[in-house]
Amino acid sequence: MEVHILKRNNNSLSTPLILINFKTYSEALGEKAVRLAKIAETVSEKTGKCIAVAPQYTDIRRIARETKLPVFAQHIDPIEPGAHTGKILPESIKEAGAIGTLINHSERQMKISDIERCVLSAKSLGLLTVVCAGTANISMATASLNPDIVAIEPPELIGKGKAVSKESPEIIADTIALVRQINKTITILCGAGITSGEDVKAAINLGTEGVLLASGVVKASDQEAVLLDLAIQI
Amino acid sequence: MEVHILKRNNNSLSTPLILINFKTYSEALGEKAVRLAKIAETVSEKTGKCIAVAPQYTDIRRIARETKLPVFAQHIDPIEPGAHTGKILPESIKEAGAIGTLINHSERQMKISDIERCVLSAKSLGLLTVVCAGTANISMATASLNPDIVAIEPPELIGKGKAVSKESPEIIADTIALVRQINKTITILCGAGITSGEDVKAAINLGTEGVLLASGVVKASDQEAVLLDLAIQI
Amino acid sequence: MEVHILKRNNNSLSTPLILINFKTYSEALGEKAVRLAKIAETVSEKTGKCIAVAPQYTDIRRIARETKLPVFAQHIDPIEPGAHTGKILPESIKEAGAIGTLINHSERQMKISDIERCVLSAKSLGLLTVVCAGTANISMATASLNPDIVAIEPPELIGKGKAVSKESPEIIADTIALVRQINKTITILCGAGITSGEDVKAAINLGTEGVLLASGVVKASDQEAVLLDLAIQI
Amino acid sequence: MEVHILKRNNNSLSTPLILINFKTYSEALGEKAVRLAKIAETVSEKTGKCIAVAPQYTDIRRIARETKLPVFAQHIDPIEPGAHTGKILPESIKEAGAIGTLINHSERQMKISDIERCVLSAKSLGLLTVVCAGTANISMATASLNPDIVAIEPPELIGKGKAVSKESPEIIADTIALVRQINKTITILCGAGITSGEDVKAAINLGTEGVLLASGVVKASDQEAVLLDLAIQI
């Protein structure tokens, strides 16, 4: 597969990409988050494949400092610095060392105008954006807002252990067709149910440039073995 | 004024209390958050008064490590560890070093059942809870949910530079009367527009045990001078 | 059981009360809503018991016109007349003939400040308010906001076919005890899983003044028989 | 201008179209809503132009019965018949006589997946859909979800008395260009600040097929005169 480099200011990612969402799993919190990130770093170094991580907010700084991995936030709020309480200021995740953020994950969906606002504010700060979508048409819709990456994740398959790339290849094919109608270069990831190198291979064969996954790695009894399998096959 | 100690597990606070909400102000982010926290620590040591801070999520760990101040989160979500993305897991703010959290700040309001869930989960983790309320009746309502602290903050006065304790003393008096009908011991703070030692004194004279404030300190040209004035008068 | 009359302006209800939430069931929409309301009216006339109904917004006017039943909205929004789109203006449900409204039903929960705002605006319009709560402490909290009626409905029992009054009598007992600490006269209903006269009797014996129910009547194969059983036993 | 007919089942609209959102204005509630609808009907008959209205939920049935105007709801919720309280069931607005609905108005925005769900459920019921968008890119995004009509309404101009078609013609031009990239036939309306025939003419000249407006008509001292001016110029 061809390698692409996504750059925004000094931040860069390359495809094919494995992006691990740590969610709010206790298996990926605090010390355990750092340990998992270090495993990912080792696998990335061994295989030469790009692995990025999206830990909880409180762990962004440590992981950005203690590893060389590209770190993403799981969400940002559509706000500017000022009188907001309890919200995720885009500047705060950048200051802590993130190079980008997920937006509109199926577990943290937003109004469409807020997605646009977040994409624009992330761009103005030099942060990379991964906008998540649950259907092919929504993928096309989010591509209209010009994020760096669109990630198609059918919510009905998330965390179910059946890979989208094998269970619903038509959703991925439709997504690619619709997104490419309006944008030839945007990076397309897929996710939901990805747990093995085979799932990843199927995803790449369908034309995506990587995968977004969570429980498949985070909750694996041997996280390193799973990641290695994914990275070798991607 | 009598000193009270609030304890939950190994966490403790004492009243009279000054609790500074850093909000998402750029003047209280990253390095600037640490610097402000260190100023607060110095003032606390000089005056013997308890000062707590509520920084952004990404700064909790640093401030908890680099100062001895009690650190609060600005918000937690009503969730347990698991498949949630972009949310604030109560366990995550505890792991990062917070000893408590604001709940239902006027800029981050919640459904009443979520407030109850957050109070219960914080308690089960040994975190102190400060539930915010905008009116006297809502203060009474939130006191029914048994948080450690109720903070009355009329939203119409937040960030306006007119102290609630001088502009609307009757709201504070009503709050104390209504809350005391159902709970004799819960700690009551007030906030909104507090910027000076005089405002604090008025708040204490009305029967509260401390203040919650933000811009009055965060955006002050001389943060230390303001904090010193507050701490001496409290 | 003693009969109480709740009055606000010209609107009145009496207890013991059966309040039927039509939800968005297709069995209680349009013509079917009118038919069910007429059945309720017949049962009310036969038994002398007060039965109120909460149909969908679009059916309020017809039912208010075609029956003599007290009609409630299922929700109002915390807004005043003006530039709001798609919201439920309290004035609109009154104009259509409703005499009151549910607020904070477990399927339509609100921020606590919005509950207060809705109670106040309903009162200023002469509308009766039924604030729903899922736990005993939340019942107490909502009673602090001075609605006319508090309805305790543990969400885990809604639509499950097991009556709260028999499955969880302690929740009702706790609710009554906590609410009475702060308000001696507010009307207390209970709901969730109520389907028979026996369930109603148990609810009344625990000290409530009526029931809030939905599927037990709406989805019954013989709606009149169920309602008659409920009305005779209340 | 060419006339187009939008059809879905037995429902039809024609362009150029004037769509009046009654919002929650007291000037367009109950009797006043019916009166305004009758004025619109008269103007429509006199001029041969299509005028549609979007009243409050409680007024849908009366206006659908007492006039021949196409009636829209202001919003629907992404739900199916069942146990939902206080929500807007798409079936309920159809049963009351609406032929379509606004979706995602700037005052009632939704998650993108909910917009898709509402468009699909409206279509399956034979209801026409008008999805609102605040920017050109969001218009393109919503067009990806295949509604019948996209309405571009920059929120910063709503209710300000300056017509989008004269103040920000470039937003309309960009919208048309972006939407046409992906859909050649979808109907495009514009709105915000429209109050006169001149504003409408400017909108049509830019390539839209009609206007969405509210206060310009609803709050006019002479509603008929304003509507006549709009209808003659469209």
pLDDT tens figures, B88-136:
999 999 999 999 999 999 999 999 999 999 999 999 999 999 999 999 9
What whole-number distance in Å separates Cα of residue C58 and Cα of residue C76?
A: 14
Binary contact (D182, A140; C-beta < 8 A): yes
Q: Is B137 helix (H, G, I), strand (E, B) or coil?
A: helix
Kindly provide the residue ranges of all beta strands, DSSP E only, lying in A82-204, ordered along the sequence: 100-103, 128-133, 149-152, 187-191
Q: Tokens in use for D35?
A: 């009166």
**Residue D48 and residue A85: Cα distance in Å, rounded?**
53
Residue B164 confidence (pLDDT): 81
Report how far Cα C20 is from the mean position of its chain's Cα atoms: 6
Q: Which two tokens stand for residue D20?
A: 């009046």
pLDDT at D1 over 60: no
pLDDT (average), residues C25-53: 96
A132 strand-pairing partners: A151
The contact set of D with C (CB < 8 A) is 21, 23-26, 29-30, 56-62, 73-75, 79, 81-89, 91-93, 95-96, 102, 105-108, 158-159, 214-215
| Amino acid at site C193 | G
Chains that touch A (3 or more CB pairs under 8 A): B, D
Task: Say whether A172 sits in a helix, a strand or coil.
Answer: helix
Q: Please give the helix or strand (H or E) that residue D91 lies within, else none.
A: helix D90-95
Contact B25, B219 (CB under 8 A): yes
Q: From CA C138, how far away is CA C148, in angstroms rounded?
A: 16
Q: How confident is the model at residue B10 (pLDDT cuts 50, 70, 90)?
A: low
Which residues on chain D are in Cβ contact (under 8 Å) with C79? 24
Contact list in D for residue C84 (CB cut-off 8 A) is: 23-24, 107-108
The per-residue b/e assignment along D148-183, b for 16 or more CB within 10 angstroms, e otherwise, is bbbbbbbbebbeeeebbbbbbbebbebbbebbeebe
pLDDT band with cut points at 50, 70 and 90 for residue B194: confident
- CA–CA separation, C112 and C108 (whole Å): 12
Q: Which amino acid is at C50?
A: C
pLDDT in tens, C159-188: 777 888 888 889 999 999 999 999 999 999
- H helices of A58-168, in order, are 60-66, 90-95, 112-124, 136-143, 164-167
Is D105 tagged catalytic? yes
When mean pLDDT is compared across C186-200, D142-156, D170-184, the lowest value belongs to C186-200
Q: What is the DSSP letter of D82?
A: B
A161: left (phi over 0), alpha (psi -120 to 50) or beta: left
CA distance A88 to chain B (A): 8
Q: Which of A158-162, B138-142, B176-180, D221-225 has the lowest mean pLDDT?
A: A158-162
Question: Which parts of C67-111 fold into alpha helices (H)?
Answer: 90-95
Question: What pLDDT digit, counting tens, does each position of C60-79 carry?
Answer: 999 999 999 999 999 999 99
Asked whether residue C30 carries a pLDDT value surpassing 60, the answer given is: yes
Show pLDDT as tens, one digit a residue, over chain A (234 residues). 566 777 766 667 899 999 999 999 999 999 999 999 999 999 999 999 999 999 999 999 999 999 999 999 999 999 999 999 999 999 999 999 999 999 999 999 999 999 999 999 999 999 999 999 999 999 999 999 999 999 999 888 877 778 888 888 899 999 999 999 999 999 999 988 888 888 899 889 999 999 999 999 999 999 999 999 999 988
Closest residue of chain C to B135, computed from CA coordinates? C113
Span D127-131, average pLDDT: 97
One of A75, A116, A153, A209 is an active-site residue; which one? Answer: A153
Rg of chain D over Cα atoms, rounded to whole angstroms, equals 16
Instruction: Answer yes or no: A75 catalytic.
Output: no
B166 has pLDDT over 90: no
> Which residues lie below 8 Å from residue A206, measured CB to CB, with a gap of 6+?
A165, A169, A172, A173, A176, A190
Tokens linked to A45: 């170094």
How close is the nearest chain D Cα to the Cα of A174, in Å?
13
SS3 A183: coil
Residue D232's H or E segment, with its range, is helix D223-233
Question: Token pair of C86, please?
Answer: 């798609």
Tell me the chain A residues in contact with residue B156 when contact means C-beta distances shorter than 8 Å. none
User: What average pLDDT does range D32-60 have in this prediction?
Assistant: 97
User: pLDDT-based confidence at B163, cuts 50/70/90?
Assistant: confident
**pTM of the entire predicted model:** 0.95
Predicted local distance difference test score (pLDDT) of residue D86: 98
Mean per-residue pLDDT for B40-52? Answer: 95
* C-alpha–C-alpha distance, residues D95 and B176, integer Å: 51
User: Cα A55 to chain center, whole Å?
Assistant: 11
**Residues B30, B26: Cα–Cα separation, whole Å:** 9
Write down the pLDDT at residue B154: 87
Is the model more confident about D87 or about B165?
A: D87
What ranges in B84-190 are assigned the alpha helix state H? Answer: 90-95, 112-124, 136-143, 164-167, 169-182
Q: Are D72 and D130 in contact (CB under 8 A)?
A: yes
d(CA C33, CA C40): 11
Residues D83, C158: C-beta atoms closer than 8 Å: yes
Mutation choice for D interface testing from C22, C56, C72, C127 by most D CBs within 10 A: C56
- The residues with which C133 forms a beta bridge, in sequence order, are C152
pLDDT value for A10:
62
Separation CA D54–CA C182 (nearest Å) = 44
Task: Output the pLDDT for position C29.
Answer: 98
Contact at CB, B29 and A75, closer than 8 angstroms: no
Strand partners, B14: B5
Please report the pLDDT score of residue D192 as a whole number.
80
What distance in Å separates residue D222's CA from the closest CA in chain A? 35
Q: In whole angstroms, what is the distance from residue B215 CA to residue A130 CA? A: 33
Quote the pLDDT of residue B1. 55
